Structure 1
């Protein structure tokens, strides 16, 4: 028995401030143990099913090293500073640009087409068992390349082939859209669809006499390439490096290896093809210039030969060496200036030719005015070449570069013209100096001067011819070179363990969900439940002390408390009686009012058994008064005469108390006053003077007066006698009384319309409370 006064029970705010009751929470969760069992079974069942039907996925990786073409620097030095290696691919590789090229749609589409990845095959074995086929499917779906190039939708071919070789073919565009359905056809067969004609036929892996259930997923090259562009991971291997790392996850290791290896091979083939294309264009330009210079050189040599014959000369240089030594320096300067002037002319002619609109300028200008613009022009052309590998014609960046090229091309022409003007000025100065020197050597014959002019012209032609021959050999070496653009560091290799599914992670998620789902359901049920189910639940929301609870009555009789009877429910009423005694302070405190919020909460059951429990006290006289005069139940419950009752006493001033008192059979200490007939004016009847007189007389005669009153939420009758009671027992019922009714009880206590109140919970389940879990011997009929 609780020795503390029920009036000192903590308020809800105080209870909320108390420490967290883990045991209480655990008991509430254990009450739904079956929900946890179902959740664990379902979650781990789904997890094991997922692990069983999901094929392992492996990570396949590869790496390449992208660098500059060899020999570009050496070629520049050997050429005396004139470098055309940029037109042959000898520029520094921009790794970020190469990453774009390697993952470009055109390259991936070419890979998909070569490996036939736009058609995927799977074979069903039993329930939810599928085998992925890669280049070993017993039945294949084929179509012309042109159809796959234009196919814009995905289709699924479901092919069921029996042991006799007869096939049922169903072509679906979506789950609900069937395009073609063929039954009992022999393979090979042509399948006509709205998108084209496909051929379904047996492959070399077909085994006669075996049944097959094949599903072929068909997509166009472009659509499948877009899928793989998202799947293939191309990124920088490490910061400040020229390495590229490629990766893909696939359930078929061989397919993943083929994808990466094919991508790297196609990338190198594309680089070699681009390099050869540029080298061929450069070679043609150089050959044209060589033929032109060769003709000029032959003409200069012929003129020298003819002049020598006409003037009977053997070696004019030796003959005039003594007299022309001083003018040698001037002549050398004139030769160098005229050579530069011819190079400027060649650059001007190259730029002016529309066929070279997007080709690199194959000569370097040895001029401050032109060299910068030529270099800028070559950089833009190189950038456009790289972008053209992956971009389309309508690319905005490509249009922007074309505009820049047009502006830069004009700047180059202006720079070349400016350089040619400057060279003309310098050439005029050098010729003026030579003329002055010639005047000083008047002894030199005219023939010697004319011969010098002829040799000078021949030297210019010979130097240009030698330079072009050297560049043609360098270009031939580049064309013959088969060095790939990317050096393969690691061919495609697969991880030793699958990356998906991760068994520990799947099981951990299953464990989390197995706990989370029932806890969430319990929480939602608690939040959505408008009722409470136990004494603990009531204590959380009640502002008044909870003085006990009563189990569900399994007996046929409503009066379970009898002399000599011991059971769990009887002990609970004794516990309740003791707590009510603590509420009755002083010798004159003996009237207990029993009420509830609404009908059906067991108020009459509690009041009658509480009165019977008080009657078991030795030497105590107890009376049970039925003041629920609107809906009287005590007479039927206790098998007593329904008349006369309280209403007769209150209505007739001459009726005595003894006339309405009935003795309870089997309990000499318990008397009962039933409600009697239902009056037309119950409220006015209870407010009369006879009510107070009745209570006063009962106080004198009995040790305890238990009043079974009306529900407070339905009628106001209870408040007519509430002020005459010394204590109030407020009855609630588990899984019946709404939480809003508890708020009503709290308001009534807060407004002091009910005083000295203690709440109880009726009809609780024994499994929710272990307070009376021990046995009661032979008389324990509540087990």
Structure 2
């Protein structure tokens, strides 16, 4: 927006401007806060040091967290699960299949490894009932392995098994014989004194402490735990997944103590392999026990039959029809062998049906192949039933019995159990038919044998019975030998493929911490800045002024650090080549455009919204700038409530008589007008503070004052009280040819500027223009205000600039150049 163009437009198109102004509505705060890229950049640049501070603070916190945090590591290992269907074990070489082997499902094995009972078994094996610590200045470090601890805690095993609470203690070495002990949440003032080796009873726990190599002045700690709590803790840190194509189970443990994690994974693999062997051996032992029971019964039968044969031969010293008997006996023996197999199978089926009906746990069931019964369907169903049983136990120990997966497993178990029972019953019916057929054929042979002499027939029956039992006995002996060989040749189904390996620290992650710190360091201050700006109530940028008011902008006056440092007010006469002087020259030119070319005295009224916006400062500099053109100028300080004067005076003295004494008739005009140190510039001081300044300004003496001043001066500058606080400025507005309204950055309220817009729209004051005062240097450099108030802040080659008013980085460059 070009200043002079705005003023010219206002002056030359008054009627059109009046119509626009009359129809213009007041803009809301949302118009002020409308999004603008330049505004965003300006706001961020203005608060750059706050943002840098927040980023630095967040980075320092990230460094602290990274440097002093306890590292957390990932320890990994892998187990290869062998496929027994491709086995080359001695059992597989001797027999058609591995008697106690079977294919393993990796998903079930993973669930088993991550089951609570198995992890508890591992924790019991490791025996980690006591954890040891050493306190440092920043953090506490755990001592592991425990053999490196400078003391040893011996806990009562029975007390440990009933331990529900997990006490935590601190210990401090006192001398070679005694030590101090407190709970972790106690102060050392409450410490108890004990001797090393003394039995200590605290928190329902009995233990002893032995000194190994305690260091004086160092605080150590220890706490008790039990397998139950350890199992829950390690389950949360243990992850396992499978690689089906390689038959691998990979294990990972996250821990701040990598040595313990390695020991834990090692123990898991050892116990898993040992558990597989135990499971195999358990099945073999049960099979051998079943065969031994059958052998015992057959052995007794053979002994009785042998006695019968011996007695029969002793009583009958002859042999008749041996060839006929032999032929019949051979055929009879063949049928009896089949009959024997059916009887053995029937006993196994009865055992199996009874076992299934009376037991819920099917892991110890004896397979058909183990007793010499060939039944592929039963073997397949039993194998599936055992797998489901393992999965059910895993789910029962991990969670609720209402788990939907557990419900599905139970349903499938019931279906397979019913199918197996149905198959066994059908098999028994089929075997019964075969048994009846064999029985009829045996009866036929019996009838044929009846034709033989009675003694021969008796001998034949005894021999036949002996042969049957002998065959059964030999078969059972073979099966027992197979079971023994399978038990002796049992080998691990799994092996350690990769021992525990430390993959490195996963926490603290320095890159992640610093990234989060920088993001938070940016987001927090930016969010805070924009929340603060959303609720701000003062004018901040020139666009704020434009968005709220259509009043022409006469110029921008830059912020000066000289006043703050030297405790005085910068004036244009002191530095005629400064940016300040150039700004007020530009304002002076714009004022002439605003007023228009006239041949009479021009009266300017200068006001603002509230106190402290630089109204008196601008009044003094405008007066000095106008006087410097050779025009007779008078500054009337009409703010009789809180007067401030910056125009230099001879001997720095102001007359006590002024406007108030003139208006009450105590003094004449020539008695209150004072000559300043500036050529062509006079001043009328406010005088003594009257009780009724508004009434004085409304009186006839004020009219006469302005009339007399117009006869003597070319310009009359009236410094009025704030327009937004009292009515004095509106009273004096009738004398003004133009009104200069001061808006100060970060000082003028938004609502007050809206009030000026109403005054401007309703033409309550003539030729109103705004000076944007005390604008910070970064506002010019970033937000683009350089064209206002001079040739641009960056182009200070046209005038002199104080180092104090430059940004810090430009001041440093100037020092380097000098």
Residue 261 of structure 1: aligned partner? 266
Distance in 2, Cα, partners of 1:350 & 1:516 = 72
1:649-688 alignment to 2 at 5 Å? Answer: 662-673=673-684
Q: Is the 8 A contact 2:287 2:370 kept in 1?
A: no
- The counterpart of 1:161, out of the listed 170, 173, 189, is 173
Q: Is the 8 A contact 1:645 1:660 kept in 2?
A: no
Residue 789 of structure 2: aligned partner? none
1:510-525 alignment to 2 at 5 Å? Answer: 510-512=517-519, 519=526, 522-523=529-530
Q: Per the alignment, do residues 642 and 223 of structure 1 end up closer, same or farther by CA in structure 2, a change over 3 Å counting?
A: same
Residue 659 of structure 2: aligned partner? 645
Residue 348 of structure 1: aligned partner? 350
Distance in 1, Cα, partners of 2:177 & 2:757 = 80
Residue 466 of structure 1: aligned partner? 474
Does 2:79 align with 1:64? yes
Residue 487 of structure 1: CA displacement? 1.0
Residue 609 of structure 1: aligned partner? 621
Distance in 2, Cα, partners of 1:394 & 1:577 = 87
Residue 160 of structure 2: aligned partner? 148
Distance in 2, Cα, partners of 1:103 & 1:231 = 11
Q: Per the alignment, do residues 709 and 507 of structure 1 end up closer, same or farther by CA in structure 2, a change over 3 Å counting?
A: same
Does 2:715 align with 1:715? no
Secondary structure of the residue aligned to 2:296 is helix
Residue 624 of structure 1: CA displacement? 2.8
Residue 341 of structure 2: aligned partner? 339
1:374-453 alignment to 2 at 5 Å? Answer: 376=381, 379-385=384-390, 387-388=392-393, 391-392=396-397, 396=401, 416-429=424-437, 431-432=439-440
- The counterpart of 1:194, out of the listed 180, 195, 203, is 203
Structure 1, unpaired ranges of 5+: none
Distance in 2, Cα, partners of 1:660 & 1:460 = 156
User: Which digits, 9 at most, give the CA deviation of each residue in 1:24-74, with x for residues without a partner?
Assistant: 4564244x27x73x5565445444444443455443221111235576999
Residue 20 of structure 1: aligned partner? 38
Distance in 1, Cα, partners of 2:125 & 2:707 = 107
Q: Is the 8 A contact 1:84 1:363 kept in 2?
A: no
Q: Per the alignment, do residues 305 and 48 of structure 1 end up closer, same or farther by CA in structure 2, a change over 3 Å counting?
A: same
Residue 609 of structure 1: CA displacement? 2.7
Secondary structure of the residue aligned to 1:715 is coil
Q: Per the alignment, do residues 761 and 131 of structure 1 end up closer, same or farther by CA in structure 2, a change over 3 Å counting?
A: farther
Residue 18 of structure 1: CA displacement? 6.3
Q: Per the alignment, do residues 406 and 20 of structure 1 end up closer, same or farther by CA in structure 2, a change over 3 Å counting?
A: closer
Distance in 2, Cα, partners of 1:742 & 1:121 = 71
Residue 228 of structure 1: aligned partner? 234
> Which range moved further: 11-20 or 726-735?
11-20
Residue 574 of structure 1: CA displacement? 3.3
Structure 2, unpaired ranges of 5+: 11-26, 782-792, 806-818
- The counterpart of 1:276, out of the listed 272, 281, 287, is 281
Report how many aligned residue pairs link the two structures. 759
> Which range moved further: 392-401 or 588-597?
392-401
Q: Per the alignment, do residues 752 and 344 of structure 1 end up closer, same or farther by CA in structure 2, a change over 3 Å counting?
A: farther
Distance in 1, Cα, partners of 2:323 & 2:489 = 47
Does 2:579 align with 1:584? no
Residue 476 of structure 1: aligned partner? 484
In angstroms, what is the RMSD of aligned CA positions? 5.2
Q: Is the 8 A contact 2:620 2:646 kept in 1?
A: no
Distance in 2, Cα, partners of 1:365 & 1:282 = 6
> Which range moved further: 298-307 or 251-260?
298-307
Distance in 1, Cα, partners of 2:423 & 2:151 = 68
Residue 489 of structure 1: CA displacement? 0.7
- The counterpart of 1:501, out of the listed 500, 503, 508, is 508
Distance in 2, Cα, partners of 1:452 & 1:179 = 100
Distance in 1, Cα, partners of 2:168 & 2:56 = 35
Residue 288 of structure 1: CA displacement? 0.7
User: Which digits, 9 at most, give the CA deviation of each residue in 1:622-679, with x for residues without a partner?
Assistant: 2334444565556999755565637965x89xx9995687243334523445556777
Distance in 2, Cα, partners of 1:433 & 1:781 = 129
Q: Is the 8 A contact 1:331 1:434 kept in 2?
A: no
TM-score (norm. length: structure 2): 0.75
Secondary structure of the residue aligned to 2:149 is coil
Residue 736 of structure 1: CA displacement? 3.5
Secondary structure of the residue aligned to 1:198 is strand
TM-score (norm. length: structure 1): 0.78
Residue 5 of structure 1: CA displacement? 3.5
